[in-house]
Amino acid sequence: MSGKNKRGMLIILSGPSGSGKDTILTQLAKRDIGVQLSVSLTTRAPREWEIDGFHYYFVSKQTFMEKIHNDEVLEYAKYGENFYGTPSAPVDRWLDEGKTVILKIEVQGAEKIRARYPDVVSLFLMPPSMEVLEQRLRNRESDSEEDIVRRMTIAREEIARSEEYDYIVVNDVVDYAVSDICAIIQAERLRSTRMKYKVSEVLDHA
Ligand code: 5GP
């Protein structure tokens, strides 16, 4: 039997703005379970604490459009007034290397990725309530009132589509949400369709 290489696993993490995706991902990185976070392109202006090349690649609209035109973007979406997109080259390379790759993207992007990668695992991070979500957006103190209202409207639309996801993780206590996500990742890694490489390995060396 020919040996099959271990293919990586693609994970989508969606959730309304303010649901705590960044906090969760920072904590997840500390658990050291071997996940690779994709860095997106955006035309949005950086927030005070954001680092170019780490949180996002901050680009002009013209550069963004050029990358789409040159087919360098896996998916993209307009969110509010800005564009966001996933650079394709790193994601494809990591998957070829057998890594677990997380895309932190909104619902339209998630839909496009599902169509392109049917075995993607999708997670929706749910705030405990709309009140908590609004409070978190206000505590951030970086967005204008208009922006907060717009993000709350988009949040309602996103939550209404949360059942399109494989898993819904409630982010009330960060540690619990991170543990839930770790459990999902570990279980999905052992799904028999992803263990085919091991089956060939064992049989080839029997
Ligand atoms: P924020 O401005 O709060 O950083 O992001 C706004 C929304 O865009 C969030 O829901 C975030 O997950 C999403 N987003 C970030 N990067 C991408 C991307 O590359 N593609 C898509 N479709 N959405 C993204």
Summarize pLDDT for 117-131 with one digit per residue, the tens.
Answer: 999 999 999 999 999
Residue 1 scores a pLDDT above 60: no
Q: How far is the CA of 25 from the centre of ligand 1 (A)?
A: 14
pLDDT(203) > 80: yes
- Note the pLDDT of residue 2: 38
In this prediction, what percent of the chain has a pLDDT beyond 90?
Answer: 87
- Contacts from 200-203 at CB under 8 Å and sequence distance 24+? 200/1, 200/2, 200/3, 200/4, 201/3, 203/1
Instruction: Please report the pLDDT score of residue 3 as a whole number.
Output: 41
How do beta strands 82-87 and 40-42 pair? Answer: antiparallel
SS3 11: strand
Rounded to two decimals, what is the model's pTM? 0.93
Closest CA to 182 of 136, 129, 121: 121
Q: Is 5 exposed, middle or buried (0-12, 13-18, 19+ CB in 10 A)?
A: exposed
Is the pLDDT score of 7 beyond 50? yes
Rounded Cα gap, residues 45 and 171, in angstroms: 27
For the CA of 77, the closest atom of ligand 1 is 22
> Quick check: 141 pLDDT over 80?
no
- For 53, which DSSP code? T
pLDDT above 90 for 4:
no
Nearest Cα to 25, choosing from 188, 169, 190? 169
Q: Relative to the CA of 16, which ligand 1 atom is closest?
A: 10
C-beta of 104 in contact with ligand 1 (< 6 A): yes
Q: Is 40 in the pocket of ligand 1 (CB under 6 A)?
A: yes
Q: Whose CA is nearest to atom 2 of ligand 1?
A: 44
User: Is 5's pLDDT higher than 90?
Assistant: no
Check residue 172 and report its DSSP letter: S
Report which protein residue has its CA nearest ligand 1's atom 21. Answer: 105
